[in-house]
Amino acid sequence: MNPSLASQAVNLLAALLLLIAFAMLSQRRILTLIRLFAWQGAALAISTLIVAYSTGQTHLYFSAALTVLLKVAMIPWVLHRLIDRLNVRWDVETLINIPTTMLIGIGLVIFAFALAAPISQMANAFTKSTLGIALASVLLSFLMMIVRRKAVPQVIGFLAMENGLFFAATSATYGMPLVVELGVALDVLVGTFIFGIFFFHIREQFDSLDIRHMEKLKED
Amino acid sequence: MTHLPGIAFQILQSLFVVLAAPLLVGWLNQCRAWLQNRSAPSILLPYYTLAKLFHKDAVIAHNASPLFRTTPYILFGCMWLAAGIVPVLATDLPFAPAADIIALVGVFALARVFSALAAMDIGTSFGGLGARREMLIGFLAEPAMLMTLFTAAFISGSTQLTTIVETLAHREFVIYPSLAFAAAAFLMVLLAENARIPIDNPATHLELTMIHEATILEYSARHLALIEWATAIKLFAYMTIGIALFLPWGIAEAGDWKALPLAFAVLAVKLFFAGAGLALIETVLAKLRLFLAPEFLSTAFLLAVLGMLTHFLVRA
């Protein structure tokens, strides 16, 4: 694949990633949120594949495969099971209304782009211009964790943040060493399971997944 | 100094848009009927309706001011002007330097202001309600529209629609993520501005939901015909702006008679698919509550801004 076409394709996928991050930010239904998360993983895997193919870095093939396995199939499946068992499908509540969240999101994107501009000038990877987008999607996922009131969307925000970090690593330095990536992948998987157990405990304790209840230290 | 073929092209294009606009509406209605399992009306039905309306006597309220009478002509004139500026069949028309994209949005805004004023002129409650809703949609849709157009303007380095189209049509194939964002935003603005389904239902006269229909409730006969016609031209103009920005291939240059049949054929194919696509969108989507319209349009604005930012970051 010639490098300019590959970099165009990676740019397009980066834009798609950013779009999905915004779609997640504006989404009210948990089921759609999980589906969007899976799509984000798919876009990530494709862009990793393209980078792997055009740079000849074999370990990136493994991380692309790992992404598909983990973020497109396994974690969404676990999350589906979780919300089925917890019986929470609809209740995504936000602290501030969605148009305002979107406007804050635009501000974050501008901030991230400004922040990444000097860094990407120093990088020499052909995907360097996507670093700003990766940073922006990290910040957007962070925003999503902040503005969501319920526990499940917050966890999805956390996982989406990991997606953004992974994309940043791929675009800035053609990926981390395979051992690190395996470790992170395992951490995310284990994290999801632990979160799942936490959900049940939170609900058992408070009869709700609203994490506001956890701010109180003692019962009144 | 403009030469004769250019002017001939200009006249041809303006006439073509005005005459073909009801056909597009007819085709759209036909597609919608098929998709909803109804037997479709004739594709020429909008023409029959216009002819019928032109033959009737106009009924005008006693307290109507001259503004009410002149507004249909102003609307029709605005839309016709817009149709003359947009490169539909050919680029580099003699009219094109008269207005760039910002002025084009201004022409649409002028039409909107007059339609809102005329709606309030009679003093019925529906007119005022419709005018207010129309302005709400308008003031939210306009920034999104401008941002969309700016994205294309940044890529080609000019706000002249002709230059934009020529730059985009004659480039080598490059994927522009920013244009993809802009196209999505433009589609949403098109739906909102033309009173299409997620925002307004063009086929209903239900008091609580109507927006565009409420503003023209008091019109009859030739006035109504002109407004309906202007609405059709507006839809046609928006669709051709979208085609010009995002799918500009196959357009002819002014004065190039040999490229004209091809330009006609390509445009017809594009509009054929665009009309069917719009009908599909209108069938699969449900109408939004009025209070969700700001959210819809702020999403469009967001997409347009993202497109512009992506353009700056990725330089593509």
Determine which of A5, A12, A97 to mutate to test the interface with B (most B C-beta atoms within 10 Å).
A12
Model-level ipTM above the cut of 0.85: no
Choose the closest CB to B302 out of A106, A113, A130.
A106
pLDDT score at B316:
46
Mind telling me how many Å the CA of A206 is from chain B's nearest CA? Answer: 33
Lowest mean pLDDT among A108-112, B12-16, B68-72, B143-147: B12-16
Question: Would you place residue B73 in the very low, low, confident or very high pLDDT band (cuts 50, 70, 90)?
Answer: very high
Mean pLDDT of A26-30: 80
The one-character DSSP state at A128 is: G
pLDDT score at A2:
61
Mean pLDDT of B135-146: 89
Residues of B in contact with A102 (CB under 8 A): 298-299, 302
pLDDT score at B171:
67
Does the pLDDT of residue A217 top 70, yes or no? no
Mean pLDDT of A179-189: 80
Mean pLDDT of B26-32: 88
Does the pLDDT of residue B193 top 70, yes or no? yes
Give the residues across from B90 on adjacent strands: B252
Question: Would you place residue B1 in the very low, low, confident or very high pLDDT band (cuts 50, 70, 90)?
Answer: very low
pLDDT score at A134:
86
Q: Residue B194, CB half-sphere, CA atoms under 13 Å: how many?
A: 25
Choose the closest CB to B298 out of A19, A102, A130.
A102
Which of the two residues, A204 and B35, has the higher pLDDT score? B35
pLDDT score at A123:
66
Does the pLDDT of residue A148 top 70, yes or no? yes
pLDDT score at B197:
78
Mean pLDDT of B44-70: 86
Chain A interface residues facing chain B, Cβ-Cβ under 8 Å? Answer: 8-9, 11-12, 14-16, 18-19, 22, 26, 98-99, 102-103, 105-106, 109-110, 113, 116-117, 129-130, 132-133
Whole-Å CA distances, A9 to B200, B234, B247: 37, 35, 19
Mean pLDDT of B31-41: 86
Q: State how far Cα A165 lies from the chain centre.
A: 8
Lowest mean pLDDT among A16-20, A138-142, B199-203, B274-278: B199-203
Does the pLDDT of residue B106 top 50, yes or no? yes
CB atoms within 10 A of CB B266: 19
Which of the two residues, A163 and B1, has the higher pLDDT score? A163
Over pLDDT 90: what percentage of chain A? 2
Q: Write out pLDDT tens, residues B82-99.
A: 888 888 777 777 777 777
Find which of A49-63, B119-133, B227-241, B247-261 is predicted with most confidence, using mean pLDDT: B227-241
Lowest mean pLDDT among A74-83, A169-178, B44-53, B180-189: A169-178
Does the pLDDT of residue B156 top 60, yes or no? yes
- Cα(B268)–Cα(B275) distance, rounded to whole angstroms? 10
3-state secondary structure of B43: coil
- Cα(B152)–Cα(B168) distance, rounded to whole angstroms? 9
Q: Write out pLDDT tens, residues B124-138.
A: 888 888 888 888 888
Round the average pLDDT of chain B to a whole number and report it.
Answer: 83
Helix pair angle (B4-35, B66-85), 10° resolution: 110
The one-character DSSP state at B173 is: P
- Cα(A120)–Cα(B76) distance, rounded to whole angstroms? 51
